[in-house]
Structure 1
Amino acid sequence: MLPPTPRLPEARALIEMDRYFVLHAPRQTGKTTMLRTLASDLAAEGDIAALSFSCERAGTVGDDIGAAETILLKSLRRAADLSGWPEELLPPNPWPQNPVRTQFGEALSAWCRRCPRRVVLFLDEIDALQGESLISILSQLRDGHNIRPDGHPFPASVVLCGLRDVRDYKVASGGTPGRFSPISPFNIIADSLRLGDFTADQIAQLYDQHTQATGQEFTKDAVDQVFELTQGQPWLVNAFAHEITFKMGVTGTIGDRQVEDAKERLIRARATHLDSLAARLHEPRVKRVMEPIVAGGPYTDRSNSDDLSYARDLGLITQKPPPQVANPIYREVILRVLGDLTEQNIHADPHSFVLPDGRFDLPRLLEEFVVFWREHGEVLIQQEGYHEAACQIILMAFLHRLVNGGGYLDREYAAGTKRLDVLVRWPYSGPDGGRLMQREAMELKVWRPGADDPKPEGLAQLDRYLDRLTLTTGALVIFDRRPEASPWKERGGFEQATTPSGRQVTVLRV
């Protein structure tokens, strides 16, 4: 385990300044571990009573403010009882009785009044609270925060920790994410910190601990591959190592081949973290963000900025523009989840696309896709929830169904690119028995109503993609979404074209 507190040194500085602030990050990034470690370190120094407790159970009672207050105080009491502190540091037992909507704040005041140390409180899973309960707790914290300068006893520092930034708590409680009013319970926050993902060096440090304990090494290529696939997302970094060392039972040195195998296993298994991520895709706020990313379209709605912030807080997309999926693992999961419906309609045998020499027959796959598109495309587009990205999702599902049995698909897509890049990697044995890798590149474009033919732009984009991959040929697939497009039964024409740099490529219009 990496030491938690060096990952966020600003937290300690804000606590020493008696600030109230938010710590947020996606699930499974180490927030709870950091809070517990920081609370333990502060308490051990002798002048602070720092306590971390979870608000999760209080989220089950919804708008019942009294019940939420009671559960929060019970959770706080339990955490204090388990702390091992001397009696004089513990909260009063029982808590003083006060009217609903004041119980939580008055209880904290009573504790601070009797405690000889400064009290620092970490409210973990704060965004589990809902509606009126969330507003009431934040209001009580705000009131206590504001009367501290008058000598009123109240926690010196409070840290609200959850998935989302404070602006989103207003949305969760039924408000709008606009500017907070001076009397808003949301205006006590001095700062908002985000717990970041691991760097490549931190992954190497973490995996080296495994090597020191067991003698089993991760090669540099393996570490680099894990960083590339996860972009440092902590749950994924740990999941890769667990999958390889425990579930796959690899006993020797771990290289990039084992990492590649683990990637496919994790995606296919749709472990809890990935499954909960996939469940978010059909939330309206998430869909409004993800659909342009998959379709390669622009963001034109100014109000979409709050949806983008929400998706960033969930860890679905990168923190900086242009918006794109946070890491290659998520890219794979998202397209596979969205393509589930299409995959159920594909009956072709994947093994029939393997040539006698072991290579993959991509031209035949595209011919089979034309047959599939003529028969099912119109219905699948109408049924696809991500309507603007339907063509890309359907072809990706077709490729995944037929390539995944023995090869790999690498997909690149982002908002504003107006394309989706695809690389098929197919391992096979050469004449001497050595392992070779066939690589086939494709570019996907959509001809939308009112737009010009995207072929010239697509050829230029494919040219740059092939240049980056050092490939001499590829395929450009153009989906025609115009009302005046050919009838469905007549779609699927192939032609040869030349890219700006002179590469000969195949163009498929469907």
Structure 2
Amino acid sequence: MLPPAPRLPEARALIEVDRYFVLHAPRQTGKTTVLDALASDLTAEGDTAALMFSCERAKAAGDDVAWAESLLLDSLREAADLSGWPKKLLPPRSWPKATPGSRFGAALREWCRRCPRRVVLFLDEIDALQGNSLASILGQLRDGHNRRSKGYPFPSSVVLCGLRDLRDYKVASGGVPDRFNAASPFNIIRKSLRLGDFTTDQIAELYDQHTQATGQEFTKEAVDRAFELTQGQPWLVNALADEIITEMKVTGTIGDRQVEDAKERLIRARATHLDALAARLYEPRVKRVMEPIVAGGPYTDRGNSEDLSYARDLGLITQQPPPQVANPIYREVILRVLGDLTEQNVHADPHSFVLPDGRFDLPRLLEEFVVFWREHGEVLIQQEGYHEAACQIILMAFLHRLVNGGGYLDREYAAGTKRLDVLVRWPYSGPEGERLMQREAMELKVWRPGADDPKPEGLAQLDRYLDRLTLNTGVLVIFDRRPEAPPWQERGGFDQATTPSGRQVTVLRV
């Protein structure tokens, strides 16, 4: 485990000047660990009683404010009892009587009145509070915060920790999301703190702890590949290493091949974190964000900013524009989940596409896809929940079913690109038994109603992709979704084209 405190130095500075603020980050990024360590450090210094407790139990209360207050105070007392603090720092054994809707604030006031130290509270899983209960708790915190200057005993600093960004708590506590509203204590800073992902150096530091304990080394290539696949998402970084060591039981030096194998195993197993991620894909707010990303189309809905922020808070997409999936492992999971229906209809034998020399027969795969598209494409498009991205999802699922048994699929897509880039990597043995890697690049385009033929643009984009990969040939697949497109049984024509720089490309129109 990385030392928690250095991951969030700003939090310590804000607490020292008695601020109320929000810490947010996606699930499984280390928020709870960081806050727990920070609370212990602050308390050990002698002038602060810093306590973290979870609000998760109060989710059951829904809009019942009184019940929510009781559950929160029970959680607070249990956390204090487990802290090992001396009796003089603990909350009172019985909370003061108060009207529902003011009981939580009254309890905090009574504790702070008795406690010989300044009190700092970390409310973990604050997202669990619902509706009126959330609004009431935030309102009581706001009221206590605003009265502190008059000698009112109340926590010196409060940190709300959860998935959601600052604007959501501004709304729930009486503010507005896009203005600096003094009515809310959670406007003390203009934006909430976000716990960041690991850097490459931090991954190396984390993995080196294993090396120091066991002598088993991670190569630099393994660390670099782990960062490339995860973009530093903490749960994924740890899960890859755990898969290699605990499940795969690799005993020697760990290299990038083992990291790649671990990635495939995690995705196939749909570990808890990845399964929870996949379950979000059909939420309307998430779908409105993810469909243009998968389809490569632009964002045209001016009111979509809140959905984008929600997807960022979940950790699904990158923090900065253009919107794209947060890391390659998530990209794989998303396309595999969305393509599951298609995969169930692919009956071809993956082994039949392996040539005698061990290479993969991509031309034959494309011919088989034409047959599959003519037979199933129209029905699958109608059944696909992500209608705008249906063509891309179907081809990706077909490729995955036939390639991933012995090779790898790398996919790049982002909103506004009007494309989806695909790289097939297929390992095979050379004449001398050496390990070689066949690479085949593809680009997917959609010819939409009212638009021009995307072939010229596709050739130019594929040219740049091939240049980046140092490949001389590629495949451009164009899906025709115009009303005047040829009948389904006539789709699937191949021809040859040349990119602007002279590379040879197979063009498939379906």
Report TM bin, short chain. Answer: over 0.9
Q: CA deviation at 1:97?
A: 1.2
Residue 209 (structure 1) aligns with: 209
Q: CA deviation at 1:180?
A: 7.6
Matching residue's letter, 1:244: I
CA distance in 2, matches of 1:271, 1:185: 38
Q: CA deviation at 1:262?
A: 0.5
CA distance in 1, matches of 2:281, 2:92: 45
Identity across aligned pairs (percent)?
86
1:56-112 CA distance string (max 9 Å, x none): 000111111111000000000001111111111111111111110001000000000
Aligned-partner SS, 2:302: coil
Given that residues 19 and 190 in structure 1 are in contact (C-alpha distance below 8 angstroms), is that contact kept between their aligned partners in structure 2?
no
Residue 93 (structure 1) aligns with: 93
CA distance in 1, matches of 2:300, 2:292: 10
Residue 145 (structure 1) aligns with: 145
Q: CA deviation at 1:189?
A: 5.9
1:115-147 CA distance string (max 9 Å, x none): 010000000000111111000000000000010
Residue 272 (structure 1) aligns with: 272
For the pair 1:195 / 2:192, whether they are aligned, the reply is no
Residue 445 (structure 2) aligns with: 445
Closer, same or farther in 2 for the Cα pair 1:258/1:205, shift >3 Å?
Answer: same
CA distance in 1, matches of 2:314, 2:172: 14
1:353-410 CA distance string (max 9 Å, x none): 1111111100000000001111111111111111110000000000000001100000
Given that residues 170 and 184 in structure 2 are in contact (C-alpha distance below 8 angstroms), is that contact kept between their aligned partners in structure 1?
no
Unpaired runs of at least 5, structure 2? none
Residue 116 (structure 2) aligns with: 116
Aligned-partner SS, 1:347: coil
Q: CA deviation at 1:188?
A: 6.0
Q: 1:49-448 residue pairs with structure 2 within 5 A?
A: 49-169=49-169, 177=177, 179=179, 183=183, 187=187, 191-448=191-448
Aligned-partner SS, 1:158: strand
TM-score normalised by structure 1 residue count? 0.98
1:455-474 CA distance string (max 9 Å, x none): 00000011111111111101
CA distance in 2, matches of 1:34, 1:453: 53
* Runs of 4+ residues deviating >3 angstroms: 169-191
Aligned-partner SS, 2:367: helix
Matching residue's letter, 2:411: R
CA distance in 2, matches of 1:61, 1:184: 24
CA distance in 2, matches of 1:441, 1:362: 10
* Number of corresponding residues: 510
CA distance in 2, matches of 1:25, 1:295: 27
Q: CA deviation at 1:170?
A: 6.2
RMSD, aligned α-carbons? 1.5
Bigger shift: residues 448-457 or 296-305: 296-305
Matching residue's letter, 1:483: P
Given that residues 55 and 75 in structure 1 are in contact (C-alpha distance below 8 angstroms), is that contact kept between their aligned partners in structure 2?
yes
Given that residues 21 and 187 in structure 2 are in contact (C-alpha distance below 8 angstroms), is that contact kept between their aligned partners in structure 1?
no
Given that residues 127 and 169 in structure 1 are in contact (C-alpha distance below 8 angstroms), is that contact kept between their aligned partners in structure 2?
no
TM-score normalised by structure 2 residue count? 0.98
Matching residue's letter, 1:496: Q
Residue 35 (structure 2) aligns with: 35
1:236-286 CA distance string (max 9 Å, x none): 000011000110000000001101110100110110000000111111111
CA distance in 2, matches of 1:170, 1:266: 38
Unpaired runs of at least 5, structure 1? none
Aligned-partner SS, 2:318: coil
Q: CA deviation at 1:168?
A: 2.7
Aligned-partner SS, 1:80: helix
Closer, same or farther in 2 for the Cα pair 1:424/1:191, shift >3 Å?
Answer: closer
Aligned-partner SS, 1:282: coil
Given that residues 226 and 240 in structure 2 are in contact (C-alpha distance below 8 angstroms), is that contact kept between their aligned partners in structure 1?
yes
Given that residues 222 and 254 in structure 1 are in contact (C-alpha distance below 8 angstroms), is that contact kept between their aligned partners in structure 2?
yes
Closer, same or farther in 2 for the Cα pair 1:468/1:189, shift >3 Å?
Answer: closer
CA distance in 1, matches of 2:370, 2:180: 54
Q: 1:447-462 residue pairs with structure 2 within 5 A?
A: 447-462=447-462
Given that residues 460 and 500 in structure 2 are in contact (C-alpha distance below 8 angstroms), is that contact kept between their aligned partners in structure 1?
yes
